[in-house]
Amino acid sequence: MTLDPTISHPDGDLVDVRPEGLAGPGGVFFVDPWRPVEHAIITHAHADHARPGSRHYLTTSDGAGVLRTRLGADASIQTVAYGEPLRLGDATVSLHPAGHVLGSAQVRIDVGGRVAVVSGDYKRHADPTCVPFEPVPCDVFVSECTFGLPIYRWPDPAAVFADINAWWRRCQDDGRTAVIFVYAFGKAQRLLAGADASIGPILVHGAIDRLLPAYHAAGVELPETSRADHENAKRARGRALVLAPPSARGSTWIRKFGPVATAMASGWMRVRGQRRRRSVDRGFVLSDHADWPGLEATIAETGATRVLLTHGATEPMTRWLRERGVDAGVLPTPYEGEMEESNEPPPDRADGRTDGQAEAG
């Protein structure tokens, strides 16, 4: 892992990059490590942040259900409430809401009164399926930068959901099943929360269905859904809203719904041409990451004197911050942000395929 050459040292007394990942003081723990370690603190259960193989995991109480589904019954998972302090080596560590997905957290690391915050992924718009983001004052802020370009500015989510529901009604008028591709964890549940269940039946792909019990256990209210099997697909053909992961796009799995209209909900839909590249009929701009104004506001609200940016459009944001006198740099990581591969379930079948790939085949 090679650091930005403009960063001589990423504040190693608070956070440091090692071959295993982003380490806390002395390497006692790692945040979202990309290799197995003794103690892993997990910001959220997306596959690029929650990798299997570590001996012990720490996450939020809300996030444990999905993490358990992802890592398996044998994983050693300890949970803490938001804001609950723990002493780990020389550091006092606590987890704070990130507003990204269910159970997502920022990791606050305090060593002798100096504070670093590792954001994980975060968003600033309200989302009924997770605890809202809370700015955490710090000296060093490690921020995601998935959408770190000024073009990325999100519309009002309420207006987006109104558009989705109107599109679903039009699909019914045309006798087509409305199929919308969303990431299985986070985006799917957020869309469910915004869907108008009075319009018709809602079917979900198996990769989404297997994660819903964790949301119900966490007390998140979602409309009634059915698994998108052949029987339900036939019964609801031409009336249903179907949620499926992007891996199902263009697959034979889609054929059982009869004539379909397809859409994708993603921040990437903000860029002209992405809908055509993804081969869908409609694109809805809906992201679980901060847009440019959200990144800008968050960095300012932390009061950090040093900002380290990870994954995404890091270089433009770094230049923008430096022009304004902020000590900013890039911290390379393998995290992917809002990408199809990062949010798909890991293999859980003997043939190595995910539930999504199995149903899509």
The answer to whether residues 232 and 322 belong to one domain is no
139 and 220, same structural domain?
Answer: no
Residues 271, 250 contacting (CB under 8 angstroms): no
Structural domain boundaries enclosing 319: 16-151+288-330
Last-in-domain residue among 268, 284, 300:
284
Rounded Cα gap, residues 162 and 180, in angstroms:
14
Q: What pLDDT shows up at residue 121?
A: 97
CATH number at residue 259: 3.40.50.10710
Strand ranges across the sheet with 77-80? 16-18, 21-23, 30-31, 39-41, 56-60, 77-80
Tens digit of each residue's pLDDT (9 = 90 or more) over 115-127: 999 999 999 999 9
Domain count, the chain: 2
Segment 153-182 shows an average pLDDT of: 98
Whether 62 and 48 map to the same domain: the answer is yes
Q: Is pLDDT of 222 > 50?
A: yes
As a whole number, mean pLDDT of residues 229-240 equals 96
Q: Per-residue pLDDT tens for 75-105? A: 999 999 999 999 999 999 999 999 999 999 9
Residue 311 and residue 165 share a domain:
no
CATH of the domain at 147: 3.60.15.10
Query: Is residue 9 situated within a structural domain?
Result: no
Cβ atoms of 49 and 42 within 8 Å: the answer is yes
- 115 and 222 within one domain: no
For 34-66, how does the pLDDT look when each residue is reduced to its tens digit (9 = 90+)?
A: 999 999 999 999 999 999 999 999 999 999 999
Same structural domain, 260 and 315: no
Instruction: Write out the DSSP string of 56-100.
Output: EEEEETTTHHHHHHHH-TT--EEEE-TT--EEETTEEEEEEE--S
